[in-house]
Structure 1
Amino acid sequence: MIIYNITINIHESVHDQWLNWMQTKHIGDMLATGKFSSARLVKVLIEEEMGGTTYSVQFMTDSKATLEKYYKENAPELRAESQQLFGDKMLAFRTELEVISVFPPTRE
């Protein structure tokens, strides 16, 4: 399993609008691509010197190949929407993580 992690610092002036958009639109749009099986939105509890509030959004996908398809087929449009809505009030960086093991192990 691959986790596509997006860490986002959002300015206070658009925080509530952004959080609502993430929970009611953007995460659903990402899942609707069919390339992710689930998502998790978490708040980072460390305060940043630059201010704002930081979140991590984690999307689970089955493989690096599926993630590459997302980058090619869906990412430009979805990223453009967030840029259009929040511009320089949002700072994001992305990380790809590979799950090595899960504890306790799941029964399959």
Structure 2
Amino acid sequence: MSTGDDARVVYEVSLDLDASIADAYRAWLDAHVREILALPGFIDGRVSEVIDPAAAEGRVGLCVHYTLRDAAVLDDYLREHAPRMRAEGQARFGGRFLAQRRVMRVVSDVGVR
């Protein structure tokens, strides 16, 4: 169990894409995630497709979860790397996607294999 300021954090990015860019976005996203995972303190990352029967037609949902060593790693990423990396996605795909982000602190590893 992790507690305190040195606890691992999960950084989640939820993406809502226009279906017409889904294949190109996924290819770009895989490379983007690998670039982020090469930064110090990033432990792992996972890209999932959101399964939502109520989703708007013509839209695709993706969700990326990154596990980071601690909040300081996230602070460094947000300050030093995120502005450039976010701008690259906007330049390539413009207004054809939306991103929402949230941060969670890992408080317990239950059933981790």
Q: TM-score, normalised by structure 1?
A: 0.89
Aligned equivalent of 1:5: 12
Q: Is the 8 A contact 2:41 2:68 kept in 1?
A: yes
SS at 1:70 equivalent? helix
Aligned equivalent of 2:108: 101
- The structure 2 residue matched to 1:81, chosen from 76, 79, 88, is 88
Q: Is the 8 A contact 2:40 2:73 kept in 1?
A: no
- The structure 1 residue matched to 2:47, chosen from 41, 50, 66, is 41
SS at 2:42 equivalent? coil
Q: What's the offset of the Cα at 1:32?
A: 1.8
* Aligned AA (2:77): Y
Q: Is the 8 A contact 1:35 1:70 kept in 2?
A: no
Could you list the structure 1 runs, at least 4 aligned residues long, displaced by more than 6 angstroms after superposition: none
Using the aligned pairs only, state the percent identity: 28
* Aligned AA (1:77): R
Cα distance in 2, alignment partners of residues 64 and 79 from structure 1: 20
Q: What's the offset of the Cα at 1:50?
A: 6.2
Unaligned ranges ≥5, structure 2: 1-7
Q: Is the 8 A contact 1:12 1:52 kept in 2?
A: yes
Q: How many residues align?
A: 105
Unaligned ranges ≥5, structure 1: none
Q: What's the offset of the Cα at 1:65?
A: 1.2
Cα distance in 1, alignment partners of residues 84 and 36 from structure 2: 11
Per-residue Cα deviation, 1:28-65 (whole angstroms, up to 9, x for no partner): 11112223111000111014236411011011101111
Aligned equivalent of 1:30: 36
Q: Is the 8 A contact 2:9 2:71 kept in 1?
A: yes
- The structure 2 residue matched to 1:53, chosen from 51, 60, 63, is 60
Aligned equivalent of 1:15: 22
Aligned equivalent of 2:4: none
